[in-house]
């Protein structure tokens, strides 16, 4: 029997503003769509948090025994500079600045995106479609929206008629807005605009002569509106109605609102049952922004090469840090918070490594099944990873108490504890048991440098230069590297 039959998962649905019992459209199967990146620059840490949050969702659904089809798109055309109807295509602009082909920009940053997410141990989605690979389908759905009376052509562009849609539907249902308020708060249309109303959004844009990313269509040589690709790719791979749609909080309006309107207009169906939104990451209490320098790239984190960091951190530590907060809360990123997470992570890993060495007894003085269900209860409560992690630290206490012979545990209970810990830590949370000195070139280089310093220290001590010897030892200790002198020579640990 699959686990989901015994566990009642609740998901906070942005559409209702409530935690709802999760019931997929088809028993045992889940369709999930998450808005992917616009590949015109290196993925930033805030985006990584969003994708790690949905990786947690994906992993837990799979752990519960669901067969999950996870679709996450790559936006490689149509996303204009200011998210709205004007400005240059983000990818085309980057191509112009770097004097390369737009598809070179796409290739470069898609590779970067995949490499970084892999370092964070995110599972790849089941399908990763691109906007440029679905131009034909986008043109077809525009025709459908026009046929249904919700789209109109003007000077080679096609717009979604929000005013007309709102007569029979609620435009603003997801973000809790009213069209009347939106109208009251918007400026008049400029003379050159082709739109009937400022709220209308582009389904197809006629390309200016200098616009390089263009495709033929019945209306003009042009390109699709940004919101359209997600409607097309989600319905193509998951159906006109599907279970979960996720994305960053900043996409709720207008992007996701427009997706609902497009799906409803084209197919006459509300496309998504559960809308999930992941919150943002701040840095030292402030919004991350490249322009203010209050920004950090994942690669900075792994190398330690950024003024806000005192050292490098492994991707697993950063992932652990992020999962210590609920995906719906704002999380503040700082060097101190990461250092604290690193200590916690190590404590957890040390406890897991201790399990095979523990002695068992004929009786247990602890209830492992009860502890295990608490872990599930945490995850069933809208993927509440911080509460799960708190429960994992309760297990650390149990393990340490057994080691100190203050608690008894039977072999069966110990096996259950070990299996559950492995499942939650490695499968569900997606953490990896890497020490900072494993598996990467930087770490290998660091180990070589430490070895060199150990040799210099030995030489200094042999020359009775204890001041230099102590300086090396203390300097390493200040960087978290402990030297240990033994019969076989000096060893070190992090
Ligand atoms: Zn999207």
CA of 135 from ligand 1 middle (Å) equals 15
Within 26-143, strands assigned E span 29-34, 67-72
CA of 290 from ligand 1 middle (Å) equals 23
CA of 395 from ligand 1 middle (Å) equals 39
**Most confidently modeled range among 11-15, 81-85, 285-289:** 11-15
* Residues around ligand 1, an ion, CB closer than 5 A: 35, 230
CA of 248 from ligand 1 middle (Å) equals 10
CA of 132 from ligand 1 middle (Å) equals 14
Beta carbons within 10 angstroms of residue 193's beta carbon: 15
Q: Which residues contact 120 (CB under 8 A, 6 or more apart)?
A: 48, 51, 52, 55, 298, 315, 318, 319, 430
Q: Which residues contact 5 (CB under 8 A, 6 or more apart)?
A: 65
Mean pLDDT of the chain: 92
CA of 288 from ligand 1 middle (Å) equals 21
Q: Which helix (H) or strand (E) holds 154?
A: strand 151-154
CA of 245 from ligand 1 middle (Å) equals 9
Q: Is 353 exposed, middle or buried (0-12, 13-18, 19+ CB in 10 A)?
A: exposed
35 is in an annotated binding site: yes
Stretch among 185-194, 317-326, 479-488 having the lowest mean pLDDT:
185-194
Mean pLDDT value of segment 259-273: 97
Please state, in angstroms and rounded to a whole number, the distance separating the CA atoms of residues 140 and 454.
Answer: 68
Stretch among 185-189, 367-371, 389-393, 479-483 having the lowest mean pLDDT:
185-189
Please state, in angstroms and rounded to a whole number, the distance separating the CA atoms of residues 99 and 220.
Answer: 27
CA of 281 from ligand 1 middle (Å) equals 19
CA of 228 from ligand 1 middle (Å) equals 8
DSSP states along 189-254: PPTT---SSTT-EEEEEEPPTT--S-B--SS-SEEE-HHHHHHHHHHHHH-SSEEEEEEEGGGIII
* DSSP 8-state class, residue 80: B
DSSP states along 328-362: TS-EEE-HHHHHHHHHHHHHHHHHHHHGGG----S
Pairing of strands 201-206, 222-224: antiparallel
Q: Kindly provide the b/e burial profile for residues 394-432, where b requires at least 16 CB atoms within 10 angstroms of the residue's own CB.
A: ebbebbbebeeeebbbbeebbebbbebbeebbeebbbbb
Please state, in angstroms and rounded to a whole number, the distance separating the CA atoms of residues 144 and 268.
Answer: 11
Q: Which residues contact 443 (CB under 8 A, 6 or more apart)?
A: 436, 437
48 is in an annotated binding site: no
Please state, in angstroms and rounded to a whole number, the distance separating the CA atoms of residues 411 and 428.
Answer: 24
Stretch among 183-192, 234-243, 373-382 having the lowest mean pLDDT:
183-192
* DSSP 8-state class, residue 134: G
158 beta partners: 153, 204
Q: Which two tokens stand for residue 391?
A: 């429960």
Stretch among 231-235, 248-252, 305-309, 384-388 having the lowest mean pLDDT:
305-309
CA of 205 from ligand 1 middle (Å) equals 18
170 beta partners: none
CA of 414 from ligand 1 middle (Å) equals 45
Mean pLDDT value of segment 391-409: 97
397 is in an annotated binding site: no
256 is in an annotated binding site: no
In the prediction, which pLDDT does 297 show? 93
CA of 177 from ligand 1 middle (Å) equals 19
Pairing of strands 18-21, 286-287: unpaired
CA of 451 from ligand 1 middle (Å) equals 50
290 is in an annotated binding site: yes
Stretch among 93-97, 138-142, 218-222, 352-356 having the lowest mean pLDDT:
93-97
Residue-wise pLDDT tens digits, 289-329:
777 778 889 999 999 988 899 999 999 999 999 999 999 99
Q: Using the Cα atoms of residue 369, residue 375, residue 378 and residue 381 in order, give the sign of their dihedral.
A: negative
């Amino acid at each position: 029997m699959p686990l989901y039959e015994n566990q009642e998962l609740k998901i906070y649905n942005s559409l209702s503003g409530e935690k709802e019992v999760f019931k997929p459209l088809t028993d045992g199967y889940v369709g999930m769509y998450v808005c992917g990146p616009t590949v015109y620059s290196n993925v930033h840490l805030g985006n990584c948090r969003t994708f790690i949050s949905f990786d947690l969702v994906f992993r837990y659904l799979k752990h519960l025994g669901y067969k999950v089809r996870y679709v996450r798109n790559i936006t490689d055309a149509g996303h204009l500079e200011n998210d709205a109807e004007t400005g240059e295509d983000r990818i085309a602009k980057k191509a112009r600045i770097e004097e390369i082909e737009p598809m070179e920009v796409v290739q470069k940053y898609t590779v970067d995106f995949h490499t970084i997410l892999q370092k964070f141990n995110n599972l790849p989605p089941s399908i990763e479609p691109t906007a440029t690979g679905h131009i034909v389908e986008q043109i077809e759905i525009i025709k459908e929206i026009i046929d249904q009376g919700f789209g109109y052509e003007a000077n080679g562009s096609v717009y979604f008629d929000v005013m007309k849609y709102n007569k029979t539907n609620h435009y603003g249902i997801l973000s809790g807005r009213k069209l009347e308020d939106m109208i009251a708060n918007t400026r008049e249309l400029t003379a050159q605009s082709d739109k009937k109303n400022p709220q209308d959004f582009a389904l197809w844009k006629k390309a200016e002569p200098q616009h390089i990313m263009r495709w033929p269509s019945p209306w003009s040589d042009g390109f699709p509106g940004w919101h359209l690709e997600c409607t097309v790719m989600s319905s193509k791979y998951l159906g006109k109605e599907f279970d979960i749609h996720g994305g960053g909080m900043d996409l709720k309006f207008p992007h996701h609102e427009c997706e609902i309107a497009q799906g409803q207009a084209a197919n006459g169906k509300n496309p998504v049952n559960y809308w999930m939104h992941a919150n943002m990451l701040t840095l030292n209490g402030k919004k991350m922004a490249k322009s203010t320098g209050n920004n950090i790239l994942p690669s900075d984190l792994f190398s330690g090469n950024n003024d806000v960091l005192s050292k490098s951190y492994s991707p697993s530590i950063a992932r652990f840090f992020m999962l210590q907060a609920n995906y719906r809360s704002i999380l503040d990123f700082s060097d101190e918070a990461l250092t604290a997470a690193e200590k916690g992570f190590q404590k957890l890993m040390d406890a897991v490594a201790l399990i095979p060495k523990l002695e068992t007894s004929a009786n247990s003085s602890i209830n492992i099944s009860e502890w295990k269900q608490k872990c599930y209860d945490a995850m069933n409560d809208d993927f509440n990873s911080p509460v799960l992690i708190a429960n994992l630290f309760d297990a650390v206490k149990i393990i340490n108490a057994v080691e100190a012979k203050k608690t008894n545990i039977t072999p069966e209970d110990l096996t259950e504890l070990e299996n559950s810990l492995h499942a939650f830590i490695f499968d569900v949370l997606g953490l990896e048991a890497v020490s900072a000195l494993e598996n990467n070139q930087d770490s290998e280089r660091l180990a070589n440098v430490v070895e060199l310093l150990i040799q210099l220290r030995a030489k200094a001590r042999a020359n009775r230069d204890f001041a230099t010897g102590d300086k090396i030892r203390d300097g390493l200790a200040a960087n978290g590297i402990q030297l240990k002198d033994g019969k076989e020579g000096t060893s070190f640990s992090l």
